[in-house]
């Protein structure tokens, strides 16, 4: 078992992480094919945690007595920072490089007094990592099979049902979204991971970001709102950058909804129960024609499909590209005046007739 105080901090942080994931632009599949949960799961099997619990019985009793005597109106309301003395929590991240500082995580550290130490693990090494004994305090995502093997059977994950008193918003969310509860609870009644809810079948996790220092210098007068306006902005930025492609993309599908009524590439229900495939519809053809135009005119990076994520981020961070849908690693120091010049675009809409 993990020391109660550390568990309490982690339980509060896990709810905070749901916000952090959205702010940081961390990308993941809404419905991973391997059955992964892209939300935090807390582990409970580190030797340090066991030692901490063994040496802190008095402190635990003190915390319990304090809580029992607290004012009901303020009982278990988290105050910031979460801890007086800084502590370090290890976080495993699969298939993402967290070597460089991330602005959102830095802000969370300042708010909570909790330092996050990231462990980068390749996705194809997940099973090996699970089987080892060097577990972190948290996983940012976890496979459902692992939750069963190491939670239900192995008992190595923290059960959030034991912390209802300090996670009221989570349980309120479960009341509003009972299906989320059904997806979270295991067959032993435990909950080992916090769900992420997306209200629509749209690509809401991705959005276009742009460097306003570049767009302003290139003469782009306002944020693009239609595909046509985005095209005009890209042309100006390409010319300003000396012919360098101004857009480096991870997910071009976010532009697809601007060409019709469907929100996402793939299958759809026409409202009568009939299933169709957007990839054979006119909307998809118009989208492909537009993306081909960007590619052929050097507005979309020629290697966007094969370039690794670090290289894409480097182009954007170094001011060699103006538009991207993943700006999670950029820092103030990447701007010449040391101030933020990054904006987010609204979803593009169809050109008005």
Question: Any idea which of 102-106, 114-118, 209-213 has the lowest mean pLDDT?
Answer: 102-106
Question: Any idea which of 262-276, 288-302, 303-317, 336-350 has the lowest mean pLDDT?
Answer: 262-276
pLDDT for 214 beyond 50: yes
Q: Given this model, what pLDDT does residue 46 score?
A: 40
Q: Which of 64, 90, 55 is nearest to 8 (CA)?
A: 64
Structure tokens given for 349: 């809409």
Cα separation, 326 vs 316, in Å, equals: 9
What mean pLDDT is predicted for residues 149-161?
92
Quick check: helix, strand or coil at residue 128?
helix
Structure tokens given for 48: 């340090």
DSSP structure class, residue 187: T
Mean pLDDT over all residues of the chain?
Answer: 79
CA triple 346-350-351, angle to 5 deg: 110
Model pTM score:
0.55
Q: Given this model, what pLDDT does residue 351 score?
A: 67
What mean pLDDT is predicted for residues 122-128?
87
What mean pLDDT is predicted for residues 223-237?
95
Higher-scoring residue by pLDDT: 235, 201: 235
Model confidence pLDDT, tens digit, residues 32-65: 333 344 456 666 544 333 333 333 333 333 333 4
CB 323 within 8 A of CB 237: yes
pLDDT for 226 beyond 90: yes
Question: Any idea which of 44-58, 92-106, 202-216 has the lowest mean pLDDT?
Answer: 44-58
Give me the percent of the chain exceeding a pLDDT of 70: 75
Q: In order of start, what are the domains of the chain with their CATH numbers?
A: 4-184 (3.40.190), 209-344 (3.40.190.10)
């Amino acid at each position: 078992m993990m020391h109660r105080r550390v568990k309490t901090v982690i339980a509060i942080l896990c709810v905070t992480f749901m916000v952090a994931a959205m702010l940081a632009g961390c990308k993941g599949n809404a419905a991973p094919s391997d059955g992964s949960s892209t939300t935090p799961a807390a582990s409970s099997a580190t030797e340090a945690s066991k030692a901490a619990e063994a040496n802190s019985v008095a402190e635990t009793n003190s915390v319990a007595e304090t809580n029992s005597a607290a004012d009901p109106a303020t009982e278990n309301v988290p105050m910031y920072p979460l801890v007086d003395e800084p502590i370090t929590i290890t976080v495993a991240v699969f298939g993402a490089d967290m070597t460089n500082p991330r602005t959102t995580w830095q802000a969370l550290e300042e708010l909570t007094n909790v330092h996050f130490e990231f462990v980068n693990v390749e996705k194809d090494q997940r099973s090996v990592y699970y089987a080892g004994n060097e577990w972190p305090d948290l996983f940012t995502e976890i496979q459902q099979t692992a939750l069963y093997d190491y939670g239900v059977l192995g008992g190595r994950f923290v059960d959030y049902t034991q912390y209802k008193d300090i996670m009221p918003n989570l349980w309120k969310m479960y009341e509003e979204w009972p299906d989320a509860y059904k997806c979270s609870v295991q067959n032993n009644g435990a909950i080992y991971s916090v769900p992420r809810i997306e209200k629509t079948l749209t690509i809401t996790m991705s959005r276009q970001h742009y460097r306003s220092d570049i767009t302003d210098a290139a003469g782009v007068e306002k944020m693009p709102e239609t595909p046509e306006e985005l095209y005009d902005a890209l042309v100006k930025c390409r010319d300003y950058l000396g012919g360098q492609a101004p857009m480096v993309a991870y997910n071009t599908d976010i532009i697809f909804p601007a060409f019709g009524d469907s929100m996402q590439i793939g299958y759809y229900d026409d409202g009568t129960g009939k299933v169709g495939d957007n990839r054979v519809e006119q909307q998809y053809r118009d989208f492909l024609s537009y993306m081909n135009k960007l590619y052929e005119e050097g507005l979309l990076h020629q290697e966007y499909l094969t370039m690794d994520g670090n290289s894409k981020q480097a182009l954007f961070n170094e001011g060699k590209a103006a538009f991207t849908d993943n700006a999670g690693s950029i820092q103030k120091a990447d701007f010449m005046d040391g101030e933020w010049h990054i904006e987010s675009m609204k979803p593009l809409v169809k050109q008005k007739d």
